[in-house]
Structure 1
Amino acid sequence: MPRALLVLIVVLLAALPARAGELRVGIFVGNDFGRPSDQPLIFASADARKMHDLFLQFGHLAPQDAYLLQNESRRAVEGTFTQIHKRIVDARNTGDHTTLLFYYSGHGTEDALHLGPTELTHDALRNLLEDSGADVRIAMLDACQSGAVVRNKGGTRGPAFAFKVSAVEARGTAFLTSSAASELSQESAEVGGGFFTHYLHSALLGAGDANRDGEVTLPEAYQFVYGETVFGTQNTERTQTPRFDFDLVGAGSIALTQLEDATAKLNLLGDLSGTYSVWDASRRRYVAEVDGSHALQLAVRPGTYYVHKRLPGWVDEARYDVRRGEVRTLALEDFTSVPYEQTASRGELEKQVRRSRLPALSVRGLVGTRGFGPKSEMNASYIPRHGVVGAEFRFHHPASITWWSFDLMAGGGPGTLTFAELGTREVIAQSWSTALTGGIATEPRLFRAGVGGRAELIGFGRTFVDGDIPTQRSFSISPGVRGWLGLHHQRLSVELVNDLGLMATGFTRDGKRPVYSTFLFSVGYRF
């Protein structure tokens, strides 16, 4: 009898439908570059990685379902949405509840996100989210004027959000944006990223866990980010006011991060005064900013952390080595005063800022021809026009119209010369050159042009094919000009280049200083 009962129970359990699980997929996009006229950002791509790592650790996101796109184009983003669509549809067909997380940090305007010179319009983004097939779509946008994607129903600090429906019943789309439709979003070297992302990351690590239940929900995240971003940017050039659009049914229990399973924590008892920033020394980035007077726990990864309280002229700093399974409590006696330039974070952040200010390097391949005027005496009797190849190393700052370059070229080729005494003779012409050029260019656009002054050391030579006259060579310092016109798309560019040079030392027996030209086709890659 007991055995028959056991068999019956097994059969009945097998007949029950399987409990639905949850699939989460995340796309994290960061682009330091926008339109050619946009000044490059310092931290956008790093912010995308920071959010990617956060959700991998505490957002129930599996590595195979987390996609990180840094400095990629619109096509790459659209391709990623196409890639995840089948995964989401298959999960829904097996009864799983599906959630799509989309994060973006970069340039933007009131109607589009700027992915390098390509654009993803707000309408296109909404369509990609809705066509993904996910039950819940959550988009977090840290971009200028990103609030324009929010419809009229959002745009304030928001209601109390007293939803009580289970997360598996939730359906719809939610947007969190860094600024209103008319506002510019900002990044700061002081926080090591965008203000919105900095406070969002803080919220999701536990600073936004208002009811201290170990979960940070959508409403909790928004309410924390709104207050901190407005307060944190009030003394900057432009105050930012984050916006929301929660077009969701049953959204109250959607937890963005779940912190109970964190393997290490920093604990605040609420007995400190002021604002404290937490620097992850292992990963070289700020991970949170919290109010010391509020009791809370921050979920962190095992490692070394420096906690900073900024004061006029100095910083109070404490170091905590947090091991797996350990909770470290912040205490006032742990802090010592140090000069700002000696804080653990200062060197790394300054290095990132300096790196962003370095001029961009383009390496260019050159191919073309060099010679004197086709009807000139130099072309007829001294050096015929011939092919050249070379390389150019061009430097320019993306925010400036000035540029300078260094190039090396060499070439040669067969030709004929005509002499009064010798008649027509076949020769092999050669030339070698190295030059420095500096100038100005048009504003960054798809099509650009530039002009500059040039100082070149050049040598010409000729070898007579029949060998009865020795090879002849001459070198000269040559001032000149360079002009170029080209197509610049993201990191690649193609240009037509023309150099004109005046040989400063006498080349002919009568001491004339001839003018020569070099016509080039150039292909470049910007690092």
Structure 2
Amino acid sequence: MKCVRWWQGMLAAMALLLTGPSQAAEERRPRRVAVVVGSNAPAVGRSSLRYAHDDARNMADVLVQVGEFTPKDVRVLLDPEPEELLSAMDAQLGALRGQPGETLLLFYYSGHADEKALYPGGHALPLEELRRRIDTPDATVRVGIIDACRGGGWTRAKGLQPEAPFEVNIPLTLQSEGSIFIASSSGLENAHETSALQGSFFTHHLVAGLRGVADQGSDGEVSVVEAFTYARQLTLRDTALLGEGLQHPSFDMNLRGRSDLPLARVKTSASWVEVKQTTGPLSVILASSGTRVLEVPAGKRSLYVALPPGKYLLVRKESGGTFSREFTLEAGQREVLDEASLEPLQTAQLQRKGPAEEEPPRPRNTLTFSPVLMAALAIYGLEYERALLPELSVFVAPRLSIQNEDASRWSYAQLMLGARYFPFGHAPGGLFLTSRVSGISVSASSPTGQETGQSLIAGLGVGYSLLAWNWLVLSVGVTESYFWTVREGSEVGMTKEGFVTDLQFNLGVAF
């Protein structure tokens, strides 16, 4: 009997050893919830944004992938009304209220804003309404991130805080109470987005930093300060080179118990790479679109970087050329990328594989005032042109001219049909070759009566059409034509056949 009890006790102890620690660890794991907002809708007096939705999705993805947020705890809102946004914040805070242990609420917004309000869905939401929720004690730690113009009203900062060292080798638990406010700009500055990154400068670099590039301790963990410092440095660089003005991200942290907060653990991702860099800088480029995913600053370092499954290029550009390596990352896969494995690459091989950068659609129709000077005769009319292909268009042009000579009145009516081929340019703009046919009817009225005559004209020519501001058309062309009389009028001067050169002008609008 004692043996039986002894074995039962041993089995119970083993079960406790096997299940107890994992359950305890699960209980100690901080509960993290997020509200992530992207708003492309224009505020009054401003244009629509293009990439705020993408910013929000990218932020939500990285929080789930490496931030230890569960998908059900990340609420993504696209162009919400202010009431919907506040309701989502209240619901997430309600889920944390009374939760045992440490908790974290993260709020992210990409869209229009000013120093006093955000504009989700294009409607004003006072910053104080959000700050009141971020300052609530319902969550142990609250993080607010705004990527928008005039972010100084969010952080209440007018510039950057000075550099300072921070301890980053800490476990991914909170152990702090307080709030952190981050903005992509300070004071009255504007924030910028770009098609080159398919998003805003700051969010792009902040997401890249959280994926592991910002890790300064080489421990696979990224803190808030590390991620912000990395995003700030690259945002300053990019806006200096590409933006209309410098963009200074701002930061305000009020934590009790610690000077920093861990926010991402790279090795919790289903797929990640270890980057071994000797000199750098290195870039990781998504092969399907040519979009730069992240950059590793110059210097010798080894980093763990979380990436979604896909095909990528690891690239180093220097004065001596471009060096690269293509790699494919599958779900659940770990890859080691050594800078020494890069090979020389021809520039043409690195051209963008995806869709070209967005351009305004070119017009396909034109309506122009179109006079023709033929010998000493000017015939006036309109022309409608339609682009069938980028290099081919067709047109129709009715024209009319009336002249008085002594006691006679001469009327000229012309209908022209033709096509234009654009070997250089894009219809309706550029250098073109033209072919056309037309019919002319001439009538003469005099005291002795009225006579008419008709001729056909066929010709070939060359010209140039200028398309300005994507709507104004100005063109000129010279055509050599042969005409012959179909029916003569002895008094209207149409008894000859032969070649004639004419000059044609077009001025009008494209749509």
The TM-score by the shorter chain falls in which range? 0.5 to 0.7
What residue in structure 2 maps to residue 206 of structure 1? 212
What residue in structure 2 maps to residue 489 of structure 1? none
What residue in structure 1 maps to residue 121 of structure 2? 116
Contact 1:84–1:132 at 8 Å: present in 2 too? no
What residue in structure 2 maps to residue 128 of structure 1? 133
How far is 1:191 from its partner?
2.0
Specify whether residues 225 and 89 from structure 1 end up closer, same or farther in structure 2 by C-alpha distance, changes over 3 A only.
same
Please point out which of 42, 51, 61 is paired with 1:34. Answer: 42
What residue in structure 2 maps to residue 342 of structure 1? 351
Q: 1:78-103, CA deviations, whole angstroms, 9 ceiling, x for partnerless residues?
A: 1211222321115x2xx131101111
What residue in structure 2 maps to residue 249 of structure 1? 256
What's the secondary structure of 2:108's corresponding residue?
Answer: strand
Q: Does 1:86 align with 2:91?
A: no
Contact 1:201–1:287 at 8 Å: present in 2 too? no
How far is 1:47 from its partner?
0.8
What residue in structure 1 maps to residue 68 of structure 2? 60
How far is 1:340 from its partner?
8.8
Contact 2:224–2:261 at 8 Å: present in 1 too? yes
Specify whether residues 340 and 329 from structure 1 end up closer, same or farther in structure 2 by C-alpha distance, changes over 3 A only.
closer
What residue in structure 2 maps to residue 50 of structure 1? 58
How far is 1:153 from its partner?
10
What residue in structure 2 maps to residue 234 of structure 1? 240
Alpha-carbon separation, structure 2, partners of 1:342 and 1:85: 47
Q: 1:351-386, CA deviations, whole angstroms, 9 ceiling, x for partnerless residues?
A: xx34xx579xxxxxxxxxxxxxxxxxxxxxxxxxxx
How far is 1:32 from its partner?
1.1
What residue in structure 1 maps to residue 33 of structure 2? 25
Q: 1:216-257, CA deviations, whole angstroms, 9 ceiling, x for partnerless residues?
A: 011111221222221222223211111101011134463211
What residue in structure 2 maps to residue 101 of structure 1? 106
Alpha-carbon separation, structure 2, partners of 1:294 and 1:26: 35
One-letter amino acid of the counterpart of residue 221, structure 1: A
Specify whether residues 358 and 44 from structure 1 end up closer, same or farther in structure 2 by C-alpha distance, changes over 3 A only.
farther
Contact 1:163–1:252 at 8 Å: present in 2 too? no
Alpha-carbon separation, structure 2, partners of 1:130 and 1:298: 32
Contact 2:30–2:101 at 8 Å: present in 1 too? yes
What 5-or-longer segments of structure 2 have no aligned partner?
363-511
Q: 1:442-485, CA deviations, whole angstroms, 9 ceiling, x for partnerless residues?
A: xxxxxxxxxxxxxxxxxxxxxxxxxxxxxxxxxxxxxxxxxxxx
How far is 1:290 from its partner?
2.1
Contact 1:165–1:251 at 8 Å: present in 2 too? no
Pairing of 1:119-518 with structure 2 (within 5 A): 119-131=124-136, 133-151=138-156, 155-162=160-167, 167-235=173-241, 236-252=243-259, 254-274=261-281, 276-281=282-287, 286-295=292-301, 296-308=303-315, 318-323=325-330, 324-331=332-339, 333-339=342-348, 342-344=351-353, 347-348=354-355, 350=357, 353-354=358-359
What's the secondary structure of 1:277's corresponding residue?
Answer: strand
Alpha-carbon separation, structure 2, partners of 1:340 and 1:139: 41
How far is 1:73 from its partner?
1.8
Identity %: 27
Contact 1:206–1:214 at 8 Å: present in 2 too? yes
Specify whether residues 206 and 15 from structure 1 end up closer, same or farther in structure 2 by C-alpha distance, changes over 3 A only.
closer
Contact 1:25–1:66 at 8 Å: present in 2 too? yes
Alpha-carbon separation, structure 2, partners of 1:256 and 1:85: 19
106-115 or 330-339: bigger deviation: 330-339
Q: 1:504-526, CA deviations, whole angstroms, 9 ceiling, x for partnerless residues?
A: xxxxxxxxxxxxxxxxxxxxxxx
What's the secondary structure of 1:169's corresponding residue?
Answer: coil
Specify whether residues 188 and 41 from structure 1 end up closer, same or farther in structure 2 by C-alpha distance, changes over 3 A only.
same
Contact 1:264–1:322 at 8 Å: present in 2 too? yes
Specify whether residues 358 and 62 from structure 1 end up closer, same or farther in structure 2 by C-alpha distance, changes over 3 A only.
farther
Alpha-carbon separation, structure 2, partners of 1:163 and 1:153: 26
Q: 1:135-180, CA deviations, whole angstroms, 9 ceiling, x for partnerless residues?
A: 1111111100112211359841443234898744211110111111
How far is 1:113 from its partner?
1.2
Contact 1:103–1:140 at 8 Å: present in 2 too? yes
One-letter amino acid of the counterpart of residue 205, structure 1: R
Alpha-carbon separation, structure 2, partners of 1:129 and 1:288: 30
Alpha-carbon separation, structure 1, partners of 2:274 and 2:111: 33
One-letter amino acid of the counterpart of residue 96, structure 1: G
What residue in structure 2 maps to residue 75 of structure 1? 83
Specify whether residues 117 and 263 from structure 1 end up closer, same or farther in structure 2 by C-alpha distance, changes over 3 A only.
closer
What's the secondary structure of 2:277's corresponding residue?
Answer: coil
Alpha-carbon separation, structure 2, partners of 1:229 and 1:43: 16
One-letter amino acid of the counterpart of residue 78, structure 1: L
Contact 2:33–2:74 at 8 Å: present in 1 too? yes
What's the secondary structure of 2:346's corresponding residue?
Answer: strand
Contact 2:152–2:158 at 8 Å: present in 1 too? no
Alpha-carbon separation, structure 1, partners of 2:254 and 2:101: 21
How far is 1:325 from its partner?
2.6
Alpha-carbon separation, structure 1, partners of 2:119 and 2:349: 35
Specify whether residues 15 and 195 from structure 1 end up closer, same or farther in structure 2 by C-alpha distance, changes over 3 A only.
closer
Alpha-carbon separation, structure 2, partners of 1:326 and 1:287: 18
How far is 1:33 from its partner?
1.8
Alpha-carbon separation, structure 2, partners of 1:15 and 1:260: 24
What's the secondary structure of 1:54's corresponding residue?
Answer: helix
What's the secondary structure of 1:109's corresponding residue?
Answer: coil
RMSD, matched Cα: 3.6
What's the secondary structure of 2:54's corresponding residue?
Answer: helix
Specify whether residues 49 and 25 from structure 1 end up closer, same or farther in structure 2 by C-alpha distance, changes over 3 A only.
same
Contact 2:273–2:307 at 8 Å: present in 1 too? yes
Contact 1:88–1:132 at 8 Å: present in 2 too? no
Q: How many residues align?
A: 348
What's the secondary structure of 1:244's corresponding residue?
Answer: strand
159-168 or 38-47: bigger deviation: 159-168
Alpha-carbon separation, structure 2, partners of 1:199 and 1:45: 16
Alpha-carbon separation, structure 2, partners of 1:43 and 1:251: 35
* TM-score, normalization by structure 2: 0.60
How far is 1:342 from its partner?
2.6
Q: 1:278-323, CA deviations, whole angstroms, 9 ceiling, x for partnerless residues?
A: 23357985431222534223221232113455679x9765421123
159-168 or 293-302: bigger deviation: 159-168
How far is 1:111 from its partner?
1.0
Alpha-carbon separation, structure 2, partners of 1:330 and 1:55: 27
Specify whether residues 34 and 280 from structure 1 end up closer, same or farther in structure 2 by C-alpha distance, changes over 3 A only.
same
What's the secondary structure of 1:86's corresponding residue?
Answer: helix
What 5-or-longer segments of structure 1 have no aligned partner?
360-527
236-245 or 226-235: bigger deviation: 226-235
What's the secondary structure of 1:269's corresponding residue?
Answer: strand
